[in-house]
Structure 1
Amino acid sequence: MSENINKDTYKLEFKVETGDFECENYKSQFDFFRKALSYNLSFYSYSDEVVFPYFIFDKGGVSLCGLFNYNKGFFDDSFYNVGDIDRLTSDSSNNFHSPDNCPLKLYFCFGSHSGLNLNDNEVELSVDVGEVETVFILRVNSRNQPGLHFKSFFKSYLKFCGLNTSSFFKEVDSTLSSVINGEDTGCSFKNIAECFSDVVDKYGSCTALIYNGKALSYKELDNYSNLLADNIDLFNLDNNSIVALDIPKSFEEIIAMLAILKSGNAYLPLDSKMPVERLKYILDDAGVELILTKKDSQLRNEFGIKYIDLDNLLCTDGSFEYSIDSEQSPCSPSYINYTSGTSGKPKAVVVNQSGVLGLTQNQNYLNIKGKVKTLHIAPYSFDAATFEIWYPILNGGVCVIYDKQRIYEKRVYELVSEHSVNSMFFTATMFNFLVDQGSEILNKLDHVLFGGEEASLYHVKRATLKFVDTKITNIYGPTECTTFSSHFLISEFDKSWKKIPIGKAIKDTDLYILDKDFNVVPKGVIGEIYIGGNRVANGYLNNLKKSNESFFNILDERRVYRTGDLGLMDFSGNLIFLGRKDDQIKLRGFRIEKGEIENAINSLEKVDSSHITVEGDNYENRLLAAYVKPNNKLSAGEIKSKISELLPHYMIPDKINIVDFFPVNKNGKLDIKKLSMLGDN
């Protein structure tokens, strides 16, 4: 076959043993591909639209095929039965529109390469059937999105037919793949405590923290954390032990984090307002032997765990030297973050130190002139706090600690104005609220980052029109990859957007869009998002099975995290988020597994079964709804009261409906639309 491939095309080559390709003549070969092209192409068209093949059969050896979109009326649907694929043969080709209007033309050649110069809507498939093997070569124009869909489809179909694809393809233009390799941050192989010491040497007298009108310098922060680290050593913990924190927002909160890391351990942020049973599970699961706390903590004597009282820590004067644990490396754990789990129990993400360093050092997603000043507003058990605290602290900036229990727009504005805060991260829900309010907070900030949920087109458009001097970036990233993985700076609103892109990889991060066989799909084709790089977590604590399912090596032994998110890479190289493969929910910035809520409800004595849905048609009124089928008399109030003892506040359903049965559709699956009309709230 000819090897003449011009610079605008790539070649897909596939070989199988001739005996596997049961086509003895030209006509049967054509029928094989006619049936192949009939195989569910809608997945590769990034829509739910039904796509059918259109054929011209040429006795000279070339077949022409166009893909026709049923929903857009490329052919007469009153004449053709949607399910009657076999009727769409060469004999019926005259009933279709002209091939010149086809979204895709396939030149189907046997025995030799045609040597055609491909246009944007043309694809060539050459088939050479030899005595030993059959060789397929697909040529696609690099600018041709339908052709890229065909490539992915063709590959998947051959696997569907059971043909060996071990030597499947070669791409002449590697930029067509849905892979984004983030630049290297150039971070040194130090741990967090060592990097902080370098910052102290450079910015010792500068302000590091501000809280409740008071400031703490880098040198003071270093001294207090040294003293506390020395106290932690008195408990003779094993290296890399997990030390829990139950401290309200304060100087002591961040001093404690630093001290734990300096002593060679990892910190576990706790929310003491969680149900007691959940806290007990977390403390037992993590093997916590020491808690750092203050006098108003509920955990001081609750579980019989040793604790250090931090109430008088700041009364100490003078410098205190401490030798940082030299055994800590970038691969050592930095903190543990418990997230919702599908098994009904929360799972613990072990975030390594290189994850935090990669998030904060020499990054490309935050564009601020001068020192970074952030407002630490997120709960420290929420992974956004990693950015709010460590980005300024490890770069000589200022972390302003929010000083109220609840978030008040007026107080946020006062702190931003008083201390010249120049950058903040908001959940998408909070960002939308501020946009709706026309809040001057967004005008005061140089750079606004938002994420945690899918971006709202409406709110982003309003924000770009009103807050023209503020940089706005859509952020994407799971806890398992240390908070942020991709960023998209929204310089201006594009009317053609159907979704706001989540952009390109931040430094120290690689993004992949893969099919179910872990092959990189072309740009424009839907796949699952995988994340690689130095910021991928060590795994899940005490959960080897789940760790092996989510963290593994692919593509030349690169370690990745399987997100469960669907997406595609557009032709400008930006990632588009398209939802979940499973039932996981992102609501008000929290990650929620429906299975964990259902397990909690189903554990109640009088409950037969339950189902959780998300209801509401926009970002403001989205809520969790529970539909419960009891086996005895049970009220919604009783259910809410009992599960409040098992689940954190953000997982308690906003609506609880008692139903007599769960409606199903004709396929035997739960009918969500009918379900929403049942039950008493």
Structure 2
Amino acid sequence: MEPTIYSRFKELVNNDPDHPAVIDERTCVTYAGLDRLVDTLISRFPSFIPARVGIVMDHSVEMVAAMMAVIKAGAAFVAVEPDFPPGRLVTFLVENGVDFVITQERHAGLLNDFKRLIIGNEIYIDPALHPLPDRSRADRPAYIIYSSTPDGYPLGVAVGNSQVLHFAESFKKTYNISGDDILLQFSACIMNIFIQEIFGALLSGAAVAIPSAATRNDPEKLVKFIDDQYVTVISGFPYLMMELNAVKALPVTVRLLISSGDVLHAASIGHLLEQVPVYTTYGPAEATVSVTTYCCNTGLVLPDGTFPIGKPMNGTDVMILDENLREVAPGQEGEICLVGDGLADYYTGDHRADLQPFAVIADGRRVFRTGDMGRQLSDGNYVYIRRKDTEVNILGKKVVTGEVERAIRKSDEVDDCTVVHYTDEQGSAYLVAYVVPKTKSFRLSWVKNTMAQYVPAYMIPEFFVLLKALPTDAAGVVNTFALPVVLKDSKAV
């Protein structure tokens, strides 16, 4: 049989059962201990052979055990953060047809409409419980990760066991991950970097260290956690790199930083480059995690102050194609397209038909159209230029302005609106909403309260501008160039 995530993990359990696997702020579990937790959870599953299982949990040892249990049971996990807006959370789980949801008591009230497996922090492991059969298969999805269409409707990306193994092996080789490493788990579970943090560690014989939400949100506490847990590898979005760059000195155990999810600005990591190797990477959820990598320490800084996204690292080819899926001339701008074994299996959700980015090129290979524009440099490295659509990264998280606009329009206070993103002096994106109010008694607090029911806080625009009408062009489309520009100082809070 072809290997799966669980079968590879089980090899590591057998090879070094007492090696630390997952560390959080309460406890540490070994590879063998995590494996026993996995069987214990499977024995409590309310469905005998599930297909899809929701996971709505705080990041912890138990959350990692739940993910591995779902995979061993032959199912795909659908993980969502507990602080997701309730409507958004429930919609995504319903659209993916989860058989049940694994959660903790403090979050159970969010999931009253689902069959639930509620677990506590102290899971009793029955010593008489025999190892349960491994039902995982290489050709089955391992997880479904949250994404959205260009119009901002929720979408799931189904990624298989084989794709995760393919990435994990490449990740291990590229960054020399070994049993001596401890990787920080920082990212939200709806981001593909989360997959890198968890499986990049557990499929390489390394350990993963998980800080609490309070620690993640406090840079000083986070650095102390990194120091206390001897973390060696940190991956995260550019805004995390900016926060670490402001620290006087990284803990001495840190040997490597990996930035993902957005372009990396040289000005934001100058101090870090003096201390450790810093890599920037590129890759959408449809490519599992990252496809390219670039070492910034000895690298080229582009005229706009960013770094290239690098060269392919995991066997997935990168091509720059035109609208007709033909390769452009060297150095010319085109759409970044991906070809190879690391691509996702399919989309899930009610709006999957709205997105058709997979195509077949002239040589018969399946290609994924990322929607990102880029070009290739003469040295073979690739450069990200911009998005084709209205997608933008805010605090390292993907935001589609169309979804923000729909959330604003749900308020009775709003007659019409459009949302535009700008960048500050450090290259960080921020949102501005241009709103046509229904009445003179417009209340912004009511609009924000309504939005909070449908979108997370990072998707609520920083600035709202009231207009009598939205400017349009001859075709009746909003003319964004005629909107008043709202500037933000990069140091503004």
Compute the TM-score of the two structures, normalised by the length of structure 1. Answer: 0.67
Question: Which residue of structure 2 aligns with residue 377 of structure 1?
Answer: 186
Structure 2 SS opposite 1:576 = strand
Question: Which residue of structure 2 aligns with residue 388 of structure 1?
Answer: 197
Q: Distance in 2 between matches of 1:382 and 1:518?
A: 28
Question: Which residue of structure 1 aligns with residue 314 of structure 2?
Answer: 507
Q: Distance in 1 between matches of 2:403 and 2:121?
A: 40
Match of 1:356 among 164, 168, 180: 164
Question: Which residue of structure 2 aligns with residue 601 of structure 1?
Answer: 408
Question: Which residue of structure 2 aligns with residue 200 of structure 1?
Answer: 13
Question: Which residue of structure 2 aligns with residue 345 of structure 1?
Answer: 153
Alignment of 1:319-468 (within 5 A): 320-326=129-135, 328-363=136-171, 364-368=173-177, 371-405=180-214, 406-435=216-245, 437-441=246-250, 444-464=253-273, 466-467=274-275
Match of 1:532 among 319, 339, 342: 339
Q: Distance in 2 between matches of 1:649 and 1:341?
A: 20
Q: 1:537 to 1:570 in 2, by over 3 A?
A: same
Query: Alignment identity in percent?
Result: 24
Q: 1:209 to 1:370 in 2, by over 3 A?
A: closer
Q: Distance in 1 between matches of 2:260 and 2:296?
A: 13
Q: 1:659 to 1:298 in 2, by over 3 A?
A: farther
Q: Distance in 1 between matches of 2:268 and 2:128?
A: 50
Alignment of 1:26-41 (within 5 A): none
2:41 equivalent to 1:235: no
Q: Shift of residue 616 of structure 1?
A: 4.1
RMSD: 2.4
Structure 2 SS opposite 1:296 = helix
Match of 1:225 among 35, 38, 46: 38
Which structure has the larger Rg over C-alpha atoms?
A: 1
2:290 equivalent to 1:484: yes
Q: Distance in 1 between matches of 2:301 and 2:42?
A: 54
Contact kept? 1:460, 1:493, Cα under 8 Å: no
Contact kept? 1:413, 1:440, Cα under 8 Å: no
User: Unaligned 5+ residue runs, structure 2?
Assistant: 487-493
Q: Shift of residue 526 of structure 1?
A: 0.9
Q: Distance in 2 between matches of 1:307 and 1:528?
A: 43
Alignment of 1:626-645 (within 5 A): 626-633=433-440, 634-645=442-453
1:611-660 per-position Cα deviation (integer Å, ceiling 9, x unaligned): 11123422376421111113334322221111111112221111122210
Q: 1:458 to 1:242 in 2, by over 3 A?
A: same
Q: Shift of residue 544 of structure 1?
A: 4.6
Alignment of 1:138-177 (within 5 A): none
Alignment of 1:55-94 (within 5 A): none
Contact kept? 2:227, 2:251, Cα under 8 Å: no
Q: 1:617 to 1:667 in 2, by over 3 A?
A: farther
Question: Which residue of structure 2 aligns with residue 557 of structure 1?
Answer: 364
1:434-475 per-position Cα deviation (integer Å, ceiling 9, x unaligned): 22x1442376411100021221132244533x32xx111011
Question: Which residue of structure 1 aligns with residue 470 of structure 2?
Answer: 662
Q: Distance in 2 between matches of 1:217 and 1:319?
A: 19
Moved more, 444-453 or 607-616: 607-616
Question: Which residue of structure 2 aligns with residue 245 of structure 1?
Answer: 55
Structure 2 SS opposite 1:315 = coil
Contact kept? 2:263, 2:309, Cα under 8 Å: no
Q: Distance in 2 between matches of 1:606 and 1:342?
A: 26
Structure 1 SS opposite 2:39 = helix
Q: 1:491 to 1:275 in 2, by over 3 A?
A: closer
Q: Aligned partner of 1:243: which letter?
A: V
Q: 1:480 to 1:463 in 2, by over 3 A?
A: same
Q: Aligned partner of 1:309: which letter?
A: I
1:226-257 per-position Cα deviation (integer Å, ceiling 9, x unaligned): 1211222x52344xx21111211221111101
Structure 2 SS opposite 1:374 = strand
Contact kept? 1:247, 1:297, Cα under 8 Å: yes
Contact kept? 1:207, 1:215, Cα under 8 Å: yes
Q: Distance in 2 between matches of 1:382 and 1:491?
A: 26
Compute the TM-score of the two structures, normalised by the length of structure 2. Answer: 0.91
Q: 1:637 to 1:213 in 2, by over 3 A?
A: closer
- Between Structure 1 and Structure 2, how many residues are aligned? 481
Q: Aligned partner of 1:456: which letter?
A: H
